Structure 1
């Protein structure tokens, strides 16, 4: 992560996201999203809203962790930002899922919230 994530909305948001994920805190995770956020995790369907986000992360095993790698971000004015990150989800059994994560962020009050979240699993068999 960057030395000063407050100047980089992607890094700042991903830092809070990773802490909530690794701590298995579905309520904290849901609060990172706008109330009408679009969310697509590993499932085939896009869901909408904090309740859907909370339910998704509540179902993730408590022992699963996320490692955030390379992050690329952009800003559009003072209210919109986003970007891409390489993330690897892991658990103690050796299970691993490398993904590309894309986020669209929106400033609400003084906080950046996730407006759109999309995960794309990286195929390693080609």
Structure 2
């Protein structure tokens, strides 16, 4: 039986969260596809090098906690997720954002192919 959309997203996003919490930018980038489109709260980048640079610039002590709000299987090897993410900081208030991700199965691994943050508040 195929994994559920939520199980797939949790597997990928738990790896992402662990690397973010450990402040390991290269490990964060390894959760993304080589050609991933990444839109954080700064101009977008494409690819792992830009993603690693984005997370390297984040402050020490940054943590991420997420809750999956919606998920959809778009194709056998593609899952869409919509999340609420709370980024915690050592020296300021928590930042809550909305995150859309598209996870793709590439070979035997599920990787993030698209990452789009929205700050609605």
Fold shared per TM-score above 0.5: yes
C-alpha contact 1:6 1:12 (8 A) present in aligned 2 = no
C-alpha contact 1:38 1:46 (8 A) present in aligned 2 = yes
Map 1:1-126 to 2 at 5 A. Answer: 8-43=7-42, 45-123=43-121
C-alpha contact 1:5 1:11 (8 A) present in aligned 2 = no
SS in structure 1 at match of 2:17: helix
Unaligned runs of 5+ in 1: none
The two structures have a TM-score, normalised by structure 2, of: 0.89
The two structures have a TM-score, normalised by structure 1, of: 0.86
C-alpha contact 2:68 2:81 (8 A) present in aligned 1 = no
| Cα distance in 2 between the residues matched to 1:60 and 1:25 | 10
C-alpha contact 2:68 2:83 (8 A) present in aligned 1 = yes
1:68-99 residue CA offsets vs partner (Å, 9 max, x unmatched): 12442111232111211100111122322100
How many residues get paired?
119
Unaligned runs of 5+ in 2: none
Task: Give me the CA root mean square deviation.
Answer: 1.9
C-alpha contact 2:29 2:51 (8 A) present in aligned 1 = yes
